[in-house]
């Protein structure tokens, strides 16, 4: 696949940070850094184009130093998009209410166009103003949202954005995943406020609003829906050569026939390029570039009649880690795109073909790297009301809204093969109805009703947790058997821990001891795959997180706590005779 033209590193965003302000900023003194901490500054805070599957050439990155005022009246600078609790924000304090403010100028070349203001994610409730005019309110800590700010712009000069944020963390009933006001054990530091890229882009009055990309391997075609108004032209290409073209109307499903499709898989993550144009007569009024992978995920029977998870029509034993997506310097936000990519590349280097993104939704670039490097993703919905000192009633309408937004915001990524509605019984409610709605919204993927326990006998898999395990539930006629969590072998490494006091589900003595224990667990896992019909295993976990030291890597990603070659062999089923 050729590089997407607006994603490449040569395309830097337009921003200006006064030298004095940039010089004054420093990351706060957090408990632990990563090798990428030193690469972060007000002039390069996540400069990459944030939306790889719908790329426009012109844009303005608003990451960098903003003014912030906390609910207690404290004022300072904050480095966006790092949450206020993180060291990289420069603040590293907790607050449940805050107001962000910064100014910008519209590039002269944007004259006559509409201007969209995009937020990758703000946790949790955000009220946005431009030049004192209220643009709207968004609730949801994990989904992208936008405003058309054209009517609120001044004729020229500085424009001022204000974002008021409220986030109750575990004192509210909204989805929050592993965030807690008093972190400890399996719950971690909260994220409040802006934690993904903020940016602007100019568009025509009639423009492409979004895309829905569905590969159909059985019919050798791509099913494409372009949301907007007007006529559409779409062209698929492979290594720079156009291979398919279709025209039609926005809002209707279009089919691009893909000749002899090269199927996407972890072993061969082939991606096609896609160009989409919105037309007015012969004139192109808007265009975006994208990409897609041809792959099929479904249930099927193996040669013994056992229900399995099938990738491209074949049973593939899915072996992956639990990936919680926390960082010691950025908390919810990776310090750099290179760091974001590192976790995925390291997962592949360790021989995994799958990962479970655990009760967190990542920025679009994380899924882009999974698409490009080749990693199957189980995508959890962040839970609410889990492990809190003061349980709150679940906000059911909000949970459903954020669940549906999670699916719609991320459904174009070929790497995502299963939606996980609930983790165990944490905030579980209306399970059967929600599974039915997710399946109706996205019938191209599998759905896991509840990973771990409180199974409601619906969805595509029956999922068990077992520490250290492994165990296998019994496959059913219409549901495959998976082990959604197991393992948890612990090993703290001096100088690379968040706190002095740490824990793991089962302790080990050193790297050799952990590696041997890991080989035993994976040997049994592959045996269960062959004898009990187990379709997938998810090992806890990829990295240490705060006080938890049961990761394969330390929290700062500096030390690999298993011998990589042996772990990769075990994950691939190439095990010693007596592990």
Whether 347 has a pLDDT exceeding 70, the answer reads: yes
pLDDT at 453: 82
Q: Is 524 left (phi over 0), alpha (psi -120 to 50) or beta?
A: alpha
Other Cβ atoms within 10 Å of 24 Cβ, number: 12
pLDDT value for 385: 74
Give the range among 155-159, 301-305, 490-494, 552-556 with minimum mean pLDDT.
155-159
Give dist(CA 192, CA 390) in Å, integer: 19
Identify the band that residue 16 occupies on the pLDDT scale cut at 50, 70 and 90. Answer: very low
Q: What is the DSSP letter of 436?
A: H
Mean pLDDT of the 521-539 span:
98
Q: Does the structure show a pLDDT above 60 at 6? A: no
Q: Which residues pair with 100 in a beta bridge?
A: 68, 163
pLDDT band at 7 (very low <50, low <70, confident <90, very high): very low
DSSP state of 557: S
pLDDT at position 521, please? 98
- Structural domains in the chain, CATH included, are 317-571 (3.20.20.80)
**What average pLDDT does this structure show over 226-250?**
97
Percent of the chain scoring above 70 in pLDDT? 96
Residue 408 has pLDDT above 90, yes or no: yes
- Per-residue model confidence (pLDDT) at position 356: 98
Burial bucket for residue 405 (CB in 10 Å: 0-12, 13-18, 19+): middle
pLDDT of residue 388: 78
* pLDDT tens readout for residues 508-518: 999 999 999 99
Mean pLDDT of 113-126: 98
Res. 387 pLDDT band, cuts 50 70 90: confident
Instruction: Look over the chain and give the mean of its residue pLDDT values, rounded to a whole number.
Output: 94
Please report the sign of the dihedral spanned by the C-alpha atoms of residue 432, residue 437, residue 438, residue 442: positive
Phi/psi for 457 (5° steps) reads: 60, 40
Q: How far apart are CA 190 and CA 331, in angstroms?
A: 8
Question: DSSP class of residue 263?
Answer: B
pLDDT at position 5 over 90: no
What is the pLDDT at residue 156?
Answer: 87
Q: Is residue 239 within 8 Å of 1, Cβ to Cβ? A: yes
pLDDT for the residue 328: 98
**Predicted local confidence at residue 390, as pLDDT:** 80
Helix (H) or strand (E) holding 89: none
% of the chain residues with pLDDT over 90: 92
Which of 66, 61, 71, 60 lies closest to 83, judged by CA? 66
pLDDT of residue 152: 97
pLDDT exceeds cutoff 60 at 19: no
Bin 533: left if φ > 0, else alpha if -120 < ψ < 50, else beta.
Answer: left
C-alpha to C-alpha distance for 296 and 521, rounded to whole angstroms: 29
CA atoms of 179 and 384, how far apart (whole Å)? 10
Q: E strand or H helix at 479, and its extent? A: none
Of 280-294, 318-332, 388-402, the poorest mean pLDDT is in 388-402
Q: For residue 359, what pLDDT is reported?
A: 97
For residue 312, what are the CA distances in angstroms to 105, 139, 263, 445? 49, 37, 7, 12
Q: Quick one: pLDDT at residue 579? A: 58
The enclosing H or E element of 249 equals strand 241-249
Q: What is the pLDDT of residues 147-157, one digit of tens each?
A: 999 999 998 89
- Residue 256 in this model has a pLDDT that exceeds 70: yes
Q: What is the mean pLDDT of residues 236-262?
A: 97
pLDDT at 9 over 70: no
The predicted pLDDT at position 281 comes to 87
Strand, coil or helix: 431: helix
Give yes or no for residue 562 having a pLDDT over 90. Answer: yes
| Long-range pairs for 15-23: beta carbons < 8 A, 24 or more residues apart | 15/43, 15/60, 15/61, 15/62, 15/63, 15/64, 17/42, 17/43, 17/64, 17/65, 21/65, 21/77, 22/65
Sign, CA dihedral 93-124-432-448, equals negative
The token duo for 436 is: 């039915």
CA nearest to 528, candidates 469, 451, 448: 469
């Amino acid at each position: 696949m050729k590089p997407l033209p607006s994603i490449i590193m040569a395309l830097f965003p337009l921003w200006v940070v006064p030298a004095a302000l940039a010089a004054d900023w420093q990351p706060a003194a957090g408990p632990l850094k990563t090798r990428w901490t030193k690469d972060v500054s007000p002039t390069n805070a996540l400069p990459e184009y944030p939306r790889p599957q719908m790329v426009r050439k012109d844009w303005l990155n608003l990451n960098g130093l903003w003014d912030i005022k906390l609910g207690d009246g404290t004022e300072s600078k904050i480095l966006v998009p790092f949450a206020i609790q993180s060291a990289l924000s420069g603040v590293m304090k907790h607050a449940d209410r805050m107001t962000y403010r910064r100014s910008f100028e519209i590039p002269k070349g944007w004259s006559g166009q509409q201007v969209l203001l995009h937020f990758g994610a703000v946790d949790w409730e955000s009220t946005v103003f431009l030049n004192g005019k209220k643009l709207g309110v968004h609730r949801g800590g994990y989904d992208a949202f936008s405003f058309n700010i054209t009517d609120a712009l001044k004729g020229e000069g500085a424009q001022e954005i204000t974002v008021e944020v409220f986030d109750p963390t575990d004192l509210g009933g909204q989805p929050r995943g592993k965030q807690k006001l008093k972190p400890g054990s399996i719950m971690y530091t909260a994220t409040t406020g802006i934690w993904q890229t903020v940016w602007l882009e100019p568009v025509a009055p009639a423009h492409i609003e979004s895309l829905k990309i569905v590969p159909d391997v059985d019919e050798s075609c791509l099913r494409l829906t372009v949301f907007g108004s007007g006529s559409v032209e779409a062209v698929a290409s492979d290594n720079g050569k156009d291979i398919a073209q279709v025209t039609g109307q926005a809002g209707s499903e279009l089919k691009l026939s893909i000749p002899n499709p090269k199927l996407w898989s972890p072993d061969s993550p082939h991606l096609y390029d896609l160009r989409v144009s919105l037309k007015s007569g012969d004139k192109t009024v808007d265009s975006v570039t994208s990409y897609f992978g041809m792959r099929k995920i479904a249930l099927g029977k193996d040669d013994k009649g056992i229900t399995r998870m099938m990738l491209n029509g074949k049973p593939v034993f899915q072996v992956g880690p639990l990936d919680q997506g926390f960082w010691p310097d950025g908390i919810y936000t990776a310090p750099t795109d290179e760091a974001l990519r590192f976790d995925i590349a390291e997962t592949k280097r360790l021989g995994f073909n799958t990962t479970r993104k655990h009760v967190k939704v990542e920025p679009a670039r994380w899924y882009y790297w999974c698409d490009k490097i080749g990693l199957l993703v189980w995508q959890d919905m962040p839970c609410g009301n889990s492990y809190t000192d003061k349980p709150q009633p679940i906000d059911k309408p909000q949970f459903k809204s954020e669940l549906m937004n999670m699916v719609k915001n991320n459904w174009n990524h070929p790497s995502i093969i299963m939606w996980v509605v609930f983790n165990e019984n944490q905030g579980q409610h209306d399970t059967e109805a929600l599974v039915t709605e997710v399946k109706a919204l996205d019938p191209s993927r599998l759905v896991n009703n509840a990973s771990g326990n409180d199974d409601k006998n619906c969805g595509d898999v029956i999922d068990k947790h077992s520490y250290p395990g492994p165990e296998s539930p019994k496959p059913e006629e219409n549901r495959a058997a998976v082990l959604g969590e197991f393992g948890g072998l612990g090993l703290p490494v001096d100088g690379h821990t968040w706190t002095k006091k740490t824990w793991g589900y089962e302790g080990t003595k050193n790297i050799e001891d952990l590696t041997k224990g890991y080989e035993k667990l994976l040997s049994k896992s592959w045996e269960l795959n062959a004898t009990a019909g187990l379709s997938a295993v998810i090992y806890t976990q990829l990295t240490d997180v705060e006080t938890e030291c049961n990761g394969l890597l330390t929290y700062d990603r500096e030390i690999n706590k298993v011998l990589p070659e042996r772990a990769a062999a075990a994950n691939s089923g190439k095990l010693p005779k007596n592990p």
